[in-house]
Chain A
Amino acid sequence: MKNFALAGNPNCGKTTLFNSLTGSTAHVGNWPGVTVDKRVGVCSLGKEAVNIVDLPGIYSLSPYTPEEVISRNYIIDEKPDCVIDIIDSTNLERNLYLTTQIMEMNVPVIVALNMMDVVEKNGDVIDELRLSQALGVPVVKISALKQDNLKRLMDLAIEAAEKKRNGKTVLEESPVGHLIKDLTIAFSSLGVSDPLFHACKLAELDELECANHPQLVNMVKEFQKVNVDSKFGQDYEALIADERYKYITSKYAIFMKKARKDDRVPTKSDKIDKVLTHVVFGIPIFLCILFVIFHFTFSENLFFLGGLFNSDCFDFIPDDSIWAGFKGLFYTENGINSPGVMLSNLVNGFTNIFSTLAGNALSGAPEWVSGLIVDGVLGGIFAVIGFLPQILVLFLFFSILEDSGYMARVAFILDKLFRKFGLSGRAFLPMIMGFGCSVPAMINTRTIADEKERIATIRVIPFFSCGAKLPILTAIAGCIAMAFGFNNVDLITMGMYVLGMVVAIVSVLLMRKTFMRGHSSPFIMELPTYHLPQAKSTALLVWDKAKHFVKKAFTVILASTIVIWFVSHFSWNWTYLPDEQMSESILSSIGQLFKPLFVPLGFGISEYGWVFVVAIVTGLIAKENVVATLGTLAASTLALMASKGIDVSATGDALNDLVMTMRATSSSLNPAALLAFIAYNMLTVPCFAAVATARGELTKKDFWITVIFWLAVSYVVSSAIYVIGSFWWTAFIYVAAIALIILCVHLYDKAKKNKEIKEANA
């Protein structure tokens, strides 16, 4: 099978084209640097099926960043049968800079003019035929998003792959043309393939070329001595870049006729940016947008209208009916439900029916069988599945923000703030991905050039709450609302998201000002133009999220609920224990063993606090397991409490009942303890998959420091939440301690800076 490589500038639509050609659902982001490693798929659109390799976006074939090295090495070493060079047609000149470098290789090339729909909408025209003649390679107009002309692109690429092509350079007539000719001959005599490409790169004194061919470096140095350019001196890298652009402007860019003559007139995107990226209002606007999203996803009091309706529209359903789960679907006496809550209630209504039917069907079965299936497996799985609609609604909003181009602006807004803390806005992009899943986010940190900055970013990525942690936030926030009458679930969830971000920023500040000092690399990013979110890409993202979530629920989480139920109903001598004797179980004894560790966090004080402790441990497998474990154990723990004569709540939701009953038996289980539980789960060691990724991205030493860092940060922050929340006056002690730490860090930083200046002067 032939191998075709997709190459192009960042954010020119390579991954969109890759998805369209291969039917994949790889993550597409409207910001540069989403793809950091090559990805392979099969395309059957053309005359024959071919392997398509999606390469990271690059501006040149010089090895400035790891992505550029990946793309360059793939094209040189793997020798694809054809390189499909994707060009963002709205920015033809800058994109052709890479094309001129790819064309220097002895590889068939086809140029795909992407985003032609936008070009045509702007009234601009590109003469593809004349551009093709000038470049000497086929040129095809396409729209990867709308899937226009993709078959023609593949047919032409297959045709091009069957012909041999020799490299061609635009630098022949430049002041270094003679040097390049000589170097090409020298490389050819050495038997190096792609001699022209290597010659052009060595003329730039490219680091990799100099290291690989030191014997030829002198040729360039000698040439430099006698050929000093009037403008660039001996800086041949700048000279060659200038020559390339001059050639592109005079020979290629002339084939694009722009409708808008004056580039100084602000576009619609410029006008929107004046408001959204405002130096003062930028961050408050971002926080407001975030609040609106959380309000529409989690609020049970939409628009703060309160209880407009006295009676439920489902009041006619008797309380003992299997349909009773649908009561309060649209509104309650507290207010109107947000779309996220409505959908969640709908799913919970159906899962209640299913649980009731399963319970009825198993009424004649032995007690343990019905306990395992109804309370254990279904209780655990449905506790997690119930939050799927809210997760999807939240991701739909995030996907809209991302696809519209706003998220890239947030990185730009935060760059100024981050820079003060020793990070660049570049580090924010992997952090945004962390809201979805920590695994790709950690991999995406490869775009950060400074190693210390990269390590610091990997360490704080799990603090950006991923989709798997959302059920914990929502479930426990719901319990706080139910048990303590604080009905703003949206504020709690958003507050926890913001807490994660604040902890991340403070952690980075401490790291970068103390033992991980260094200069953050400059953040230069081309802001994508605003566009309306594409229904297909947002739908794909939501569908992908739902698919992964359901698959995980019915595999890993289902298996976990079975194991949890067994270890919570068997003693160490393998005797079955009914719910009433659960405190003698294997799980209970393990939970009781670790419970004292969590006393400073509040939720470890209560007699039944071990339930929360084991939920934390099972959460290490997958974070959804935290709620699944609580759901699995809730019914059994309530039965255990009832057997001890405790008055058990019966609202119909086992988890809420558990929290309300525990609250009635122990004053330590207050809202602060529950918030500490959420914070601990959010900030502690992430799931196995994320831990394995961190291990892969870090050295052994850095990895273990990172694990200790996660444990320490989560413990300190959660205990502070509990202590301050329970004893308000301790806030003064914490403020004093924080002020002292800030002073120490400031003095340390100042002393280090003075030392660095002295060393530099010396």
Chain B
Amino acid sequence: MQPIEIIVIIAAVSFVLAILTVYIKRRIKGEPTGDCACCHTNKEKLLKKYHKMYGCKCVNK
């Protein structure tokens, strides 16, 4: 087996597994999996950025 074959197999399998894992994780957590998932991720990122800036751990009062 040539090195390129090993690289392609590992890359393809890990990519498919990563996509599947993210999907299953979202389903278990009850998070959106369709197009709305992007907006959900953006909100999380924004909150994370804010908490980092102000050192606050709670979202609500």
On A, residues with C-beta under 8 Å from B are: 1-3, 22-26, 40-42, 44, 49, 51, 81, 365-366, 368-369, 372-373, 437, 439-440, 547-548, 551-552, 555-556, 558-559, 562-563, 566, 687-690, 692-693
Residue of A whose beta carbon sits closest to that of B11: A562
- Which one of A49, A566, A687 has the greatest number of beta carbons of chain B within 10 Å? A49
Distance (whole angstroms) from the CB of A445 to the closest CB of chain B = 16
Give Cα distance in the complex from A22 to B42, angstroms.
Answer: 11
Distance (whole angstroms) from the CB of B3 to the closest CB of chain A = 10
Does chain A have a CB within 8 A of B43? Answer: yes
Give Cα distance in the complex from A693 to B61, angstroms.
Answer: 31
- Contacts A439-B35, A689-B34 given: A558-B15 contact, CB under 8 Å? yes
Give Cα distance in the complex from A687 to B33, angstroms.
Answer: 11
Does chain A have a CB within 8 A of B39? Answer: yes
Residue of A whose beta carbon sits closest to that of B54: A49
Chain B hits for A22, CB < 8 A: 46
Decide: A688 and B61 in contact? CB cutoff 8 A.
Answer: no
**Assuming A1-B50, A551-B38, what are 19 further A-B pairs, CB within 8 angstroms?**
A1-B54, A1-B56, A1-B59, A2-B61, A3-B61, A41-B46, A365-B4, A368-B5, A372-B12, A437-B34, A552-B35, A555-B19, A559-B19, A562-B16, A563-B16, A688-B33, A689-B33, A692-B33, A692-B34
Interface size band for B? 20 to 34
Decide: B35 and A42 in contact? CB cutoff 8 A.
Answer: no
- Contacts A51-B59, A365-B2, A688-B33 given: A24-B54 contact, CB under 8 Å? no
Decide: A693 and B59 in contact? CB cutoff 8 A.
Answer: no
How many A-B pairs fall under 8 Å by CB? 78
Top 10 nearest A-B pairs (CB, nearest first) are: A689-B34, A559-B19, A559-B16, A562-B12, A548-B35, A439-B34, A42-B46, A369-B8, A365-B4, A42-B50
Distance (whole angstroms) from the CB of B61 to the closest CB of chain A = 7
Give Cα distance in the complex from A693 to B19, angstroms.
Answer: 21
Chain A hits for B33, CB < 8 A: 688-689, 692
Distance (whole angstroms) from the CB of A177 to the closest CB of chain B = 35
Give Cα distance in the complex from A1 to B36, angstroms.
Answer: 25
Chain B hits for A372, CB < 8 A: 8, 12
Chain A hits for B34, CB < 8 A: 437, 439, 687-690, 692-693
Residue of B whose beta carbon sits closest to that of A467: B35
Chain A hits for B15, CB < 8 A: 558-559, 562
Give Cα distance in the complex from A120 to B15, angstroms.
Answer: 56
- Which one of B5, B12, B15, B59 has the greatest number of beta carbons of chain A within 10 Å? B12
- B-side binding surface: helix, strand, loop or mixed? helix
Distance (whole angstroms) from the CB of B52 to the closest CB of chain A = 12
Residue of B whose beta carbon sits closest to that of A559: B19
- Contacts A366-B5, A547-B38 given: A40-B16 contact, CB under 8 Å? no
Decide: B39 and A24 in contact? CB cutoff 8 A.
Answer: yes
Decide: A1 and B8 in contact? CB cutoff 8 A.
Answer: no
Chain B hits for A368, CB < 8 A: 5
Decide: A366 and B4 in contact? CB cutoff 8 A.
Answer: yes
Give Cα distance in the complex from A26 to B47, angstroms.
Answer: 17
14 A-B residue pairings within 8 Å (CB atoms):
A1-B60, A22-B46, A24-B42, A24-B43, A369-B8, A439-B36, A547-B38, A548-B35, A555-B19, A559-B15, A562-B15, A689-B34, A689-B36, A692-B34
Give Cα distance in the complex from A26 to B60, angstroms.
Answer: 22
Give Cα distance in the complex from A81 to B60, angstroms.
Answer: 11
Give Cα distance in the complex from A489 to B35, angstroms.
Answer: 28
